[in-house]
Chain A
Amino acid sequence: MNAVSTLRTITNTEAKMKYRELCRKEPGLPLFDQDWWLDVTCGGADHWDAVLVEQDGCIVASMPYRVTKKSMFEIVSMPQLTLTMGVWIRYPEGMGAGAKLAYEREIYSALIDGLPQVDYFSQQLHWDNTNWSIFYWRGFRQTTRFTYVLEDLSDLERVYAGFTDSVRDEIRRAEQQVKIAWSDDLARFQEMNSRLFDPPRFPMPYSFEVLKALDERCKRRNRRKILFAEDADGEAHCAMYLVWDDRYAYYLLGGETPRAKESGAHSLLVWHAIREMAKFGKRFDFHGGMHEPHEIMYRSFGATQKPYFQISKINGKLFKFAYYLKQAIR
């Protein structure tokens, strides 16, 4: 195939510069792949990089990644508050199944060529990536994780009909007791959210500083809403931190008090967020669901299970030895 021979892998400074440009121009890039999102979640602009594939001067694929040091090892791993990271691919129009697989083979090969040889690599790919064969041939491993999404919010009656009876009961009950309020009060949200965790047994999976910095950037770009379900006394029963890109809205973080159980406020809050996002033609991603209680909840909203891939590879000999020895004697 002629087209394939012109693929070029770009790394380092050139790649990052071009990637920032791509983020500004390409509406298809998910929120979590945006350079400004990575600048914050990775802990600074120097803590991530990108590998690009170019064809005839046009970027056809991108994969950002975050490199860190853990004790003596170099590691690529996921930043906080980020479910998936890459790979974005620009497909030529009207591609058949066979041609698509052949194209993916070239694209992924070119990307893998540009990835750094770290001791341990582990990244979660966006669900648009359904073909990991090429990674397999290059020695990677894979496992499937799930997020839960409502793909079509165009008919809200149908979305509502997809909820379980208990969710609908809760919504009706909550409507008598709470109202949904939008707010910019991050500190108040953070206070509610932190109740979900119980360090050191269940440590916070992100830092408040990062959320604060992220909040500023999201707010500036009009990419977030903070929602509270409040009763007549102004007491919040639960809260939601919602972010979005051009295609999807993401239920990034939540929080609740014991009162939410009685009032059913959480179901109302989700229903409110869905209706709000439907106005802007978004789809709704619950952003996770590998945790059993979360799955039960997301499922009750009729959300579809959406598989995405975690890809990993051990390169370092010493890392490999230490990693498996730990598993062996654990």
Chain B
Amino acid sequence: MTDAKSKYRELCLSNPEIPLINRDWWLDATVGEDGWDVLLVERGGEIIASLPYHRTKKMLFDVIDMPYLTLTMGIWIRYPPGQKYATRLSYEKEIYLELIEKLPKVDYYYQHFHWSITNWSTFYWRGFRQTTRYTYLLENLKDLDRLYANMKEKTRNEIRKAEKQLEVVESDDIETFHRINEMTFKRQGEKMPHSLDFIRRVDLACRERGCRKIWFAKDREGRIHGAVYLAWDEKCAYYLLGGGDPELRKSGASSLLLWEAVKRLSSVTENLDLYGGMHEPVETFFRSFGATQKPYFQISKINGKLFKFAYYLKQAIGQLAAVVATMVLCSNFAQGMMV
């Protein structure tokens, strides 16, 4: 294990500011112990910034990208207390420059930064690109009255109606959860993006640490209408996964489940991150809960010349033609080398 990695494991143990989805054990569970590494910035023997990353191979390319089920990753910064705004910006610049310097030179880099990172200028000057994405946040879970009042009338009605016929029960049954989760993807005609093995591994890690809940909404006949999977740390809960039985969609189970999750988690953490919302129907659902739109940055950079060629050619002429053209180019290049 690298020196930085073992230091980071210690940091995760002692520092509640590192979000759960960036902690060492989460990364172990989602991408495997060898699938990630971390960059640290240290001053006087103390870690003042960290950036974990997931490194992988895609075809012939070396890539840093986002681990599945992880919405954002890095950068965590320790700010000195009482820092002046002008000093803060130069402090950030110094840290970002050191991190960029240390980043492995992969063909393609792309990460989603946590929404606390609002300044990407330094990355811009070093040739990175950026686009803004949104997640939706229910803030201050202690204030249940306000959260309830912020919901749309329609959503409140749905919850009241669902309460009459459904019961929200806690469970450890990850297999059943997975089955319900899969139904939602099937209904939309999409492939299930993860395997049962994957979610079992993540679930085991969360369960051991007592920081996850699975809730089912069941009717009197015991039929499961919907299910949610949430995990949390000291600051925030994450609405990781959810699903519903397409046959029983009208019962308002998803609204009820989310509201129950809010109520039951209000004593253990501060906020609830709805974990996404770039997809239009999802945004509509989150908006009906009165959630706050929270922008976060996608930062990317293409280093490899061949990757760049293939990437843009794909945009210009479509994937298949780009793959063929790149292969022809490669083989010509290889022949040229041999001659």
Contacts and interface: CB of A to CB of B under 8 A. Distances in A.
B124 interface: yes
Nearest to B322: A328
Contacts of B312: 324-325, 327-328
A136 interface: yes
Contacts of B118: 305, 307
Interface residues of A, number: 39
Interface in B167-207: none
Contacts of A309: 132
A305 B152 contact: no
A97 interface: yes
Contact of B124 (A141, A162, A290): A290
Nearest to A130: B295
A292 B96 CA distance: 14
A324 B316 contact: yes
B255 to A, nearest CB: 14
Contact of B278 (A136, A290, A300): A136
Interface in B278-302: 278, 280, 283, 287-293, 295, 297
A116 B125 CA distance: 33
A67 B131 CA distance: 25
A146 interface: yes
Contacts, number: 95
B293 A328 contact: no
Contact of A299 (B86, B130, B151, B317): B86
Given A302-B85, A321-B316, A321-B317, A133 B134 contact: yes
Given A97-B292, A142-B131, A162-B84, A133 B316 contact: no
A300 B86 contact: yes
Interface string B292-328: 1101010000000000111111011100000000000
Interface in B108-144: 118-121, 124-125, 129-132, 134
B129 to A, nearest CB: 7
Contacts of B151: 98
Nearest to B313: A328
B90 interface: yes
Contacts of B89: 299, 305
A163 B311 CA distance: 45
A95 to B, nearest CB: 12
Contacts of A90: none
A144 B297 contact: yes
Nearest to A302: B86
A304 B150 contact: no
A102 interface: yes
B313 A302 contact: no
A58 interface: no
B115 to A, nearest CB: 12
Nearest to A305: B119
Given A143-B129, A290-B121, A137 B280 contact: yes
B150 A144 contact: no
Contacts of A97: 150, 290-293
A62 B25 CA distance: 50
Contact of B130 (A144, A164, A325): A144
Given A130-B295, A132-B132, A320-B316, A299 B90 contact: yes
Interface in B253-268: none
Contacts of A137: 280
B287 A142 contact: no
B262 to A, nearest CB: 15
Q: Which of A130, A144, A163, A302 has the most CB of B within 10 A?
A: A144
Interface string A288-319: 01101001000111101101010000000000
B132 A144 contact: yes
A101 B129 CA distance: 27
Contacts of B310: 328
Contact of A98 (B86, B132, B287): B287
A329 interface: yes
A325 B90 CA distance: 38
A98 B288 contact: yes
A164 B125 CA distance: 23
Q: Which of B85, B89, B295 has the most CB of A within 10 A?
A: B89
A328 B131 contact: no
Interface in A110-139: 130-133, 136-137
Contact of A141 (B131, B280, B293): B131
Q: Give the top 10 A-B pairs by smallest Cβ distance, nearest first.
A: A324-B316, A328-B312, A327-B312, A324-B315, A98-B290, A324-B312, A328-B313, A325-B316, A299-B89, A302-B86
15 contacts: A96-B150, A97-B292, A97-B293, A98-B288, A133-B134, A133-B293, A143-B130, A146-B121, A162-B86, A290-B124, A292-B121, A299-B90, A300-B86, A305-B89, A328-B313
Given A163-B86, A324-B312, A328-B309, 16 more contacts: A130-B293, A130-B295, A137-B280, A142-B132, A144-B132, A144-B297, A146-B119, A146-B121, A290-B121, A299-B89, A305-B89, A307-B118, A320-B316, A324-B315, A327-B315, A328-B310
Interface of A: 96-98, 101-102, 130-133, 136-137, 141-144, 146, 162-164, 289-290, 292, 295, 299-302, 304-305, 307, 309, 320-321, 323-325, 327-329
